[in-house]
Structure 1
Amino acid sequence: MHQGRNEAVRLMGEGAAKELKSRWLAAAQLGLVSSTFSTLIGQLAASQLGRDAAVDWMTVAAQWADFSWALVFFGLFGRWTSRLAPRTLFWLAIPWAVFTSATEWFGLVPLFPFFQPIFTLQQPYWIGFLVHLSSALIYPLFAWLRWPLRRAPPTSAVRFAKRWAAGALLVLATFGLVSVIDGLGWPLPTLSRDVAGDQRYIRHMVTHHEQGIELAKLGKQRAQDPHLRALAALMVASQQSENRIFDRWWRGWSSEPMALCSSEERLAMPGYLTSAQMADARNAADGEFDAVFIRLMSLHHAGAVQMADNQWHSSGDPRLRLMAHAIRHEQQGEIALMNNVTGIEAVRQATRNMLANNL
């Protein structure tokens, strides 16, 4: 009898170990699927939100994070989460996305263990939230993926998961179609209640960015501090990509070509540098260049922040306003980065920048 009990305990232990291994393998499989889905959605939806996915990847790569969070949810917490119904997993997607994106944005990336304040200062919180939400919305597939291929039982949970997978593929196809149409120069129609205001903002910000790109290229070439050179390169990439998005939206929303800003308009733009100020940057001695660059780019960024803040509070197209919010956040953050703000102070400033113009 004693030997029989030992055998039963051994079999139970082997069964538990096998179940644990199976759960972690399923969690890893789901992590691959969910992170791939969120990456594809991010790539396809970026331009609709005024983002350039390639530039966003210059500051952080989110795919590994989505994979890791799936391991945490179904591996580490799998004792409780692996038995949840797909519908329950759907309702948990938003709070889980809030938790994971906030954990990264406020702690893991800018502080310990990655110490990368550029992520929090340069990207507003809502970008990470949307990425993690698209990943978490794939979690209902776990009820299907936990079974070996073609051996899933025909339960209601598995049937729901299969339908959910079909829906996810349909969403991907829809975003792909919209992205292709947008790339051909036919963006979705404007939803603006102030078309003239949107056009004025686009024209002015394109012109403002053109000068910012010129100044940032000087920083990329001449800055003595490697950190400042890298930041200037990011400024060039981000503002060039934003101008491409502005140009595409203009061509899709207006039948008229974009008119150049007059000299009077340039003088009236906040933060638009004079010819003498640009000459100061070009003629600065090597030992003085970094200080001159930071001073002039901070002035220039402050003007762009003011313009973007006005657009964010306008009645313009929601996509243009969302893009303006991101510009307001990133350019305030870049001023902080030029001044080597790190640690808790970086998180504090990023939080304030996300909520308002603080310049």
Structure 2
Amino acid sequence: MRSFTHRTAGKIALAGAAGATALLLTACGADDGKSGTDHGGAASTASAAPSATASASGGAAAAPGPFNDADVMFAQMMIPHHEQALEMARLADGRAQDPEVRKLVTAIERAQDPEIRKMRAWLAGWGRPESAGHGSGGGHGMAGMMSEQDMKSLAAAEGVAFDRRFAELMIAHHDGAVAMAKDEQRGGENPTATALADDVVRTQSAEVTALRKILDRL
């Protein structure tokens, strides 16, 4: 009786193993039928990557198409440049008096914060770091960046003095961004990156014109 029980249990175990193996082979066969074992795995990874990138960057997607070093440098340099512009804009809260200055501050915040998220998504999708050691605070290649003293002087000003100082500094800052965007227009390859460069040149050049008019009347 004891021998029968052992033999029966062994048969049941073997049957269970065979059934599991059959199910596994059936599943693998279904995947192979769709795209092949190797291609199926690659497709799965590729489809998951954009979603992960979009999630990490607040919904922005990686820039499609080819890219080159100019595209990468444009994003790596423009991110900290935009971040400093947002820092300057935040200082306007409670300090700016001129309605045109406050209007421009709002425009800068609405445009540049989403652009930062876009460029971070591009770099993630390209497999490149956000920073490549280009420096900050007016370092090499970072045209228009404010020094620490510039930022302190802006933070210390209020009313008309703030409006005037903000306009002066933001003109220089925007001029630097426009110069970097023009470099991207000339040397970039990725169409999404060059399109953003076009936007930067157009919008920030218009804002420089508006800031100069503000300075003329203050």
Output the CA distance in 1 between the equivalents of 2:136 and 2:162.
29
Query: In the alignment, which of 190, 215, 221 is matched to residue 65 of structure 2?
Result: 190
Matches within 5 A, 1:283-294: 283-294=156-167
Output the CA distance in 1 between the equivalents of 2:137 and 2:150.
18
Pairwise CA distance, 1:263: 3.4
Output the CA distance in 2 between the equivalents of 1:288 and 1:296.
12
Query: In the alignment, which of 169, 174, 194 is matched to residue 321 of structure 1?
Result: 194
Aligned-partner residue type, residue 289 of structure 1: F
Pick closer, same or farther for the CA change 1:235–1:220 going to 2, 3 Å. Answer: farther
Q: What RMSD over aligned residues (CA atoms) do the two structures have, in Å?
A: 2.5
Aligned identity (percent) is: 28
Per the alignment, residue 106 of structure 2 pairs with: 233
Pick closer, same or farther for the CA change 1:264–1:332 going to 2, 3 Å. Answer: closer
Q: TM-score, normalised by structure 1?
A: 0.41
- Give the match's secondary structure for 2:92: helix
What count of residue pairs does the alignment treat as equivalent?
160
Pairwise CA distance, 1:339: 3.4
Output the CA distance in 1 between the equivalents of 2:77 and 2:148.
17
Aligned-partner residue type, residue 101 of structure 2: L
Output the CA distance in 2 between the equivalents of 1:212 and 1:241.
13
**Which structure has the greater CA radius of gyration?**
2
Matches within 5 A, 1:1-359: 183-184=54-55, 187=62, 189-192=64-67, 195-254=68-127, 256-259=128-131, 261-263=133-135, 266-268=138-140, 269-340=142-213
Pick closer, same or farther for the CA change 1:291–1:323 going to 2, 3 Å. Answer: same
Pairwise CA distance, 1:258: 1.8
Q: Is the 8 A contact 2:81 2:145 kept in 1?
A: yes
User: Could you say which structure has the greater relative contact order, defined with CA pairs below 8 angstroms and 6 or more residues apart?
Assistant: 2
Pick closer, same or farther for the CA change 1:324–1:306 going to 2, 3 Å. Answer: same
For structure 2, which runs of at least 5 residues remain unmatched after alignment? Answer: 1-49
Output the CA distance in 2 between the equivalents of 1:307 and 1:323.
11
Segments ≥4 residues shifted beyond 4 Å: none
Write out per-residue CA displacement over residues 26-69 of structure 1, whole angstroms, 9 at most, x where no aligned residue: xxxxxxxxxxxxxxxxxxxxxxxxxxxxxxxxxxxxxxxxxxxx
